[in-house]
Structures are given as structure tokens and as C-alpha cells.
Structure 1
Amino acid sequence: MSRLGTLGARLYRGEVGYDFVGKRKIWYGVSILITITAIVGLAVRGLNMGIEFKGGAVFTVEKASSISVAQAQEAAQEASGHPAIVQKLGNGSMRIQVSEVDGAQAGQVGDAIANELKVPADKINDEVVGPSWGEQIANKAWTGLGVFMFLVVIYLAIAFEWRMALAALIALIHDLTITVGVYALVGFEVTPGTVIGLLTILGYSLYDTVVVFDSLKEGTKDITKQTRWTYSEIANRSINGTLVRSINTTVVALLPVAGLLFIGGGFLGAGMLNDISLSLFVGLAAGAYSSIFIATPLVADLKEREPQMKALRKRVLAKRAAAAARGESLDDPSSEGAEGESTERKATAASAVVGQRDRGRGRPSQGRRR
């Protein structure tokens, strides 16, 4: 078995582990700091909305490998009088976006760009996008997001409980806020591909969370009938037990997305790959983080407020104090931590001693018979 597999087995059995839940205030603070940074970046810089949302014209220049991005950007700005965004595509062509250009102006701007770049006019294709289409896309995206959130909360409340549903919802909002904030700070253009990426990460964000919740649900069955673990400790064991699985699935998912972002978008110049891959990359990483450091510790916080869990914690701490006074340890993984088991072990040891005495008594009598 590999070292990672051995570590995963030891984490699953509770032989080793990190106190994620016990240090939850640190993670809450880190998450709040990151979220505030994202919100400030969003408020100060704002989102770089594509022409699909604010309207404009897109000019595609064929066989533009000899034209630099700076040349095309300068030519488009002089021809239209508006800022232009230029992207080189993988097939050697160039995509020029100019906002605030309507259908009547598109032809004239296209001819002016052709003259500035010294390319034939028939090598430039123009496409006009109205702002109403982008508004429809945004409204449908918000509607889809709202419906998704509602269905997720209902499902998790039925499959698990309302506290887990609330924690998962907070984790989702956390992931979306960070992803949108990164877009604002980096300055990537927001396109329909970005919206698709944001909607896609919602499922990935929930995946690790549901895995931990399922382990937690299984581990807390009849929790009040034992006095060894508190709810928070079982929650922490659930995180550690699924930690290696979460890391593996996240890394496997991030590798192809990183290929899209850094190779496809960076080297091949595929603009739309940047739009969708950045949202996927940030969202996947944030989702893995929130499932471990936000969602499950938050569930533990909410559950520990229940009277039953408060009473359980008092019993567990009282029993540990009594065991410490007797010089015993309840943290041994081979021990179940119950007083009955300690008594049973003492009885077994006593029986072994009695058996040895009985066998010892029998040997002399057999010798005398001889």
C-alpha cells in the first residue's frame, strides 16, 4: 500500500488526525478575510462584463498571425472611438471586441479596422450583439441559481437535516463569492462561458460536502447512547476519515481544468477557455476548502447548541475526568471507552489467574498418585 493509502487508512481508523473542528475559529477567520477581500475587489474594480451582457460588436480577423495584439487594439480604438478587447485565437485569427457599437456602425468600423491593419475587408467578419440578449442570459442564470439553491437545501434537509442544509448553503455562497471576487481582481472578462462555469462548480462544491455529511450521519447514529465522543469529535473524525478521498478527487478534477486554464488559455490563446476554466479552477479549490473547513465545523457548531448534545458533552467530560483520576485513558483507539469494558477486561484477567491456579493445584495431586 502506498504512503497516501496508509495515511488514509490511519485517518479513517482515527489513529491519526488533525483537529479541524477544534480550530474552526481560525478557519472562520481566514474565510471571512478572503470573502471580504473578494467583496472589496468586486466593489472597487467591478466585473469586466463582456459584450454579450452590455452589447457591442465582435470583429474576427482571419489569418492575423502577423498582427500584434497592441496593433489591433490601437486600430480598433481609433476606428470606433471606444475601448477594445483583443484576443488571439488558436487558429491564427484574432477576435476584436468593441462595446457600444450598433449594427449601423459595425460595417464602417470593420472597414476602418481593415484599413488600419492593411488587410482585405472580406477577411474581417463582424457580429453585433445587443444588450437585451445579455440581459436575458443574466436573468436566466440568476433564475437557475435560485432554483438550484432551493432544491439543494430541500434535498439536504430531507436526506440529512436542516443544519447540514444550512451549512451547505453557506459554503456554496462562500465559494461563489470568492470565485466572483477573483474574477474582479484578475480582470477576466465575464462571458456566458463564465456563467456556465459558475453553475458547474456548484455541483462540485457540494460533492465533498455531501461525502463528509454522509460519514457524519453514519457516525452519529445513537450518539447519545455512548459516552466516549462528543458530536464535534465525531465530526472531526468524519473529516479526517474522508480527507484523503477529498484530496484525491479535488486534485484529479483540478489537473484537467489547470490544463485548460494555463495551456489552453495561456499558450493557445483560446479566449473562451479562460472564461470557463478560471471559474472552474477557483470554484473547485474553494469547494474543497469549504467542505473541510467551513461546512462540517459549522454543522458541529449548530449541533452543539442542542440540549442533548450539551448533556452528552458534560457526560463525556465527566467520564474522562473520572478516568484520568483512576489513571486510565479513554483515548486509546483499541478501547471503546466504556466502564463496562474495563470491568470486563479485569474479569477476564482474573479468570485467567484463577485458571492458572487451578491448573497448578492439579499437577501436584497427579504426582502423588504416581
Structure 2
Amino acid sequence: MGLRMPKRRGWRWTVWALVGVLVAGAGLTGLTVWQNTYALREETVALRYEGKSLKGVLARPDRGPGPFGLVVFVHGDGPVDATHETFYRPLWEAFARAGYASLSFSKPGVGDSEGAWLEQSMDDRAEETLAAVRWARSRPDIDGRRIGLWGASQAGWVLPKVAVRDRRLQFVIAVSPAVNWLRQGRYNLLAELDRDGASDREKETALRRRDVVLDLLRRRASFAEYRATVGDAEGMTAARWAFIAKNHRSDATADLRAVPGTPMLLVLAGHDVNVDVAETEAVYREALPGTSLSIAHYPNATHSLVDHDVERSDWRLTATAIFAPRRLYTDHFLADQARFVEQLNSGEGVR
């Protein structure tokens, strides 16, 4: 019978349906662009450190010539780029509204940064951060008296080292920081097994495997010996094994006790399966003078300070990241970050 044109009425409805889809698509595109536009002036910058070039971003407030205060970002574990795949930008904007620029470099070997981050110790990372602070103090648009650090997770072993070595820092913000590498690893293992509903037998098996790995680390075993002993490497590489071997004795306690009264904000999440927040809070309270330490609890947040209900739903996490990225973070977190630095400048101090 061949093909026939639809009846006029049906064709009209089809056209209007197509128009509706296009309008909705244009609206969503506009919404996405608007939600992912930040009140910032971003500049690509480079730091020459130990013969290698680190590439990063300096994000200044969108108005005013400065000089601005500065927040230097110290990353957690993994191959993190300067923007943390745009995850940092809502934070940068919050600090900008408080009059602070933000500085973040891609880790060595990530993006256009040269080097290899898996070859670094925590002391190496601290020296690299100090180099970034020195670089920032040389800029006329940055107020060298108002430079602080922001770091998360693995940065917990880096931040106090930097604060001890640079007593001019205005503040430190430690988000979900680790204290002891080995204790954190055990806590994380059991917390994830509990979350996934593992049986007692499965937990015992996982702990025995962990004991075997710890014995290999104590004996400074090679990656080849690790593979021969453990069998399934579960994503472990030779470079990662070397990184763990170099850093698994990390403990922030002694460095925290040596911090010279620098105002510090400790940020803790209620759904953190990576870090034992009770231990972290106890260590920070014991190590730091009460007048210098402020603690913020976010009971609905995960380790990354994302809202727990959002993070555990793949579709909500994706939709929020695309259409409302500022709402990824748990309630009040962004505003509280800005308020902390504002209080330092207003003379209110740490609460």
C-alpha cells in the first residue's frame, strides 16, 4: 500500500510534540549552563617545582582588583585534577563571596602537570604545597597575610605538616581527614563490609587477607611477591604498591601536636565509611588547643560532604551534578566554609 501522510490533526499534534521537546531541551540546556556558571575569574597558572611544571587554576572573585585572601587546595587520594572534575567550583565560589581566591594544582602526572603523584610521600606533598604558598605570596593580587589551606581525606597527613613549617598561615580547613593510615584502613574495610551486608565469615576472611598484606609491607616485599602471595591483586598496580609501601606508616598525631595555634576547622560527616570520625575528633581535640580548633558536624553527609541520599542514588547523583552542582554538597556546608574565613577577618575568631 505504500506510505501515507498522517491525517492533518495527527500531524499537527506531532509537530507540537516535537516543538515541546525542542523547547524543553533548550530550557534544560539553558538551566545547565546557568547552574554551571560561577561568579569567578579563573586563570590557568603554572608552578615550576623540582624541575617539573604543575598546571593549575587560580579562581579569583569576579569583582575587585584585590589583593584577595587565598585558599590553597590540597587533594585527597587518587589522580585529582585542579578542579576535581568541577567538584571544587561551588567551594571556590563560596570562598570568593567571602573575598578569597582559590588555588588548585593538578597532581603530578594528571592533566598537564608533569611528574607522577604515586611516587610522592606525604612529606613530598607537604613541600609541594609549601611551594604553592610561596608562589602565591609573590603575586600582587594575593594578600600574603591571608593564605590558608583546604584539604580533604588523605590531605589529613599533609595539612599539619604544612602548618608546622609555615607559621604564617591564616587557617587550615581539614575535611574528613585521616589520622592513622593503618587504623583508617581497617576501619574503612569493616565499614564497607557492614554497609554491603557482609557475613561474619566474610569479614574474618577479609581481615586475614589484610593481615597478610600488612606482613608483606612490614617485610618491604616487592610487588611481584605481593602478587604471588595474595593472588588476585584487586586493581593493585606496581606503582600503587610502591606508594602504599612508602606511606602506610603515616600518622598525623605528632604533626598536629606541633601545629602552632593556627586556627583550624575540622569538618566531619555522619555517613563516613572511609574515616573513623570519632577517632579523628578525639585526636584533634587532644592535640590542638581549644581556642584554635573549631569542629563542624554534618550528620547527613558522606565522606566527600555530598548529601547521603543523593550519593547513594546513581540517577540523583548524576542529575544533581549536571543540573544543580551546588546542591551536591550537604546542607549549609558551602555557607559554613565561607563563614569560617569571614569570622577570621572580622576578628570574631574561631567558634
Question: Which bin holds the TM-score, normalised by the shorter protein?
Answer: under 0.3
> Which one has the largest radius of gyration?
1
When you count helix as a share of all residues, which structure comes out higher? Answer: 1
When you count strand as a share of all residues, which structure comes out higher? Answer: 2
The one of the two structures with greater contact order (alpha-carbon pairs below 8 A, sep at least 6) is: 1
TM normalised by structure 2 equals: 0.22
TM normalised by structure 1 equals: 0.21
